[in-house]
Structures are given as structure tokens and as C-alpha cells.
Amino acid sequence: MKKVIKILSILLLITCMIAGVVFYATFISVKNVNIVNTTITSSKIPDEMNDFKIAFISDIHYGSFMDEERLSAMFEKINQAKPDVILFGGDLFDDPSAYPVTDEKREELIALLKSLEAPYGKFAVLGEEDHHSSLSESILNIFYYGDFEMLVNQSILLRKNSSRPINLVGIDSMVGGNPDITTAMANIDTANFTIILTHCPDIISQLPKYGSDLILAGHSHGGQIALPILGPVNRIEGASDYSNGTYYLNQSTLIVSNGLGTSDIDMRLFAPPQCHIIRLSNQAQ
């Protein structure tokens, strides 16, 4: 009898542990954005942009599980970090064929995007979901009225009261998009610190070996469900080689964000929603 009670007690404990993990992954982890602080050091960074703060977010997937209340709370936490610039790595909506983008959702998103504060600008690239035929030009309008500038295979210069700028290059999504690396990087001066913003991290294999200092991508969600040591359970096209975290390749740093939203299932385990706050420094650490 004692042996039976002991076995039942162990089974009950295991059941409770599994239930606790599922509860956490479903109801807690998906809502709490993790602020990841990183410092990138380079002699190319102008003195005036020393301690310049970049907030990098990706994969909102609005419309399925991500709603106004959840995203508003995440954006409030991002604003508290007081970034100088905000960069968005694509996938604003989640599968528009399954979750139609209504006028109400458009207006909600425009208001939410406008609520993000960055004195030196907000910039975005497209993900594969943003290329869905039902969105057409409306996706560009949402970003425009949300005060985001789209970068589709093009570059701009970022300045902070300095004559020496930073290059920001936006490359279209490797999956579902039309990336044109040659056009995007045609006019950049590689003597300047260069940031590449794109959706799929695996495009790094197609980039020139040298010329980019910091590469920011999303797409993978960190797998949404990951295991300690083993990493993401699910690896997808466009993020099979580089699925989450920070990588150092040649002279570049690649940061792959878990993103903010979820798709397919509304669960996250060991792959929390992320906003990367990246501080630029020209001082040796």
C-alpha cells in the first residue's frame, strides 16, 4: 500500500509540474517582454553617438493572439527604456488569410505604433507575412501613419548632431520577399558603422563578408518552445542556421530576436518575448 501511495504521489507531483510549466508558458511568458541590454563597441561610432540607444523589436504578429492590451503593455515597457531609435524587423500581422486585417485592427495598430517614442526616428523592414496579397499597399500606410519609415532594399544615414553618420540598411525578407542586397548596399560608405536590418537571419550567408558591423533579424521567435542546452524545438526556413541569440561572424555581430508575438500556438517556453536595447559605444569595454 505504501508503495502505491508513493508512486501516486510521484505521478501527482510530475502532473503538477507539467501543469505549472504549461500555465507559465501559456499565460505568463507570452505577455512579459524581456528587455535584453547589449553594448556594441566600435571605433567607427562617432563621439556624438556614443551611448546611442537602439530598441530592436520584431514579429508582432498582430491579429491572432497578440491584441491591443498585450501589445500596449509591451510598448509601454519599451518606451521606459527611452531609446534614441526604434527598429522593427518585420511581420506586423499574423497570417492575414486566417486572421483578416480589419479597419479596426489597422486603426489600433497605427495608434500603438505612434505611441512608441524615439527622437531620432522609427524604421522598419517587411517580413513574409507583410507581403501577403490582402495587405497590398495598406501595410505601407499603417507604418507611415504610425510614424515608421519603411526601408525596402535601401539605406539611410543616421546622425546625432554629428557630421559623421551611421549607415542603416534595410533588406527585404529572404522568405516571401524580394531581397536585393546589391541595391540596398550600393551607396554605403563602409568606413561608417553599418547596421543591417532584415527579417530572416539566414540571409547573412548572402551578405558581403565585410562591410556590416551589426546585423539585426527576427523571424524565428526563438522557436517559441526551447529546451535548455538543446535550444529551439522548431527551426524554420530562413532561421535554420541562426535561430536565436547573438553570433559573431567575421567582423559582424548578428542579433536574432525572439520577437514579441506568437503564431500557431500561443505559448513560449525558454524563448520569452524580447526587445533588445543596444547601446553603441566607441570606448573600449
For residue 151, what are the β-bridge partners? none
The pLDDT tens digits for 85-97 are 999 999 999 988 8
- Strand pairing category for 52-57 and 274-281: antiparallel
Q: Is the pLDDT of residue 212 over 90?
A: yes
The DSSP string of 128-142 is TGGG-TTTTTHHHHH
- The pTM of the full predicted model, rounded to 2 decimals, is 0.94
- What's the whole-number average pLDDT of the chain? 91
What is residue 79's predicted lDDT score, i.e. its pLDDT? 98
Q: What is the CATH number of domain 33-281?
A: 3.60.21.10
Half-sphere exposure of residue 127: CA atoms within 13 angstroms, side-chain side: 29
The pLDDT tens digits for 252-278 are 999 999 999 999 999 999 999 999 999
Half-sphere exposure of residue 81: CA atoms within 13 angstroms, side-chain side: 28
Rounded CA Rg of the chain: 20
Helix (H) or strand (E) holding 11, with range, is helix 2-23
What is residue 160's predicted lDDT score, i.e. its pLDDT? 86
Domains in the chain: boundaries: 1-31, 33-281
What is residue 10's predicted lDDT score, i.e. its pLDDT? 61
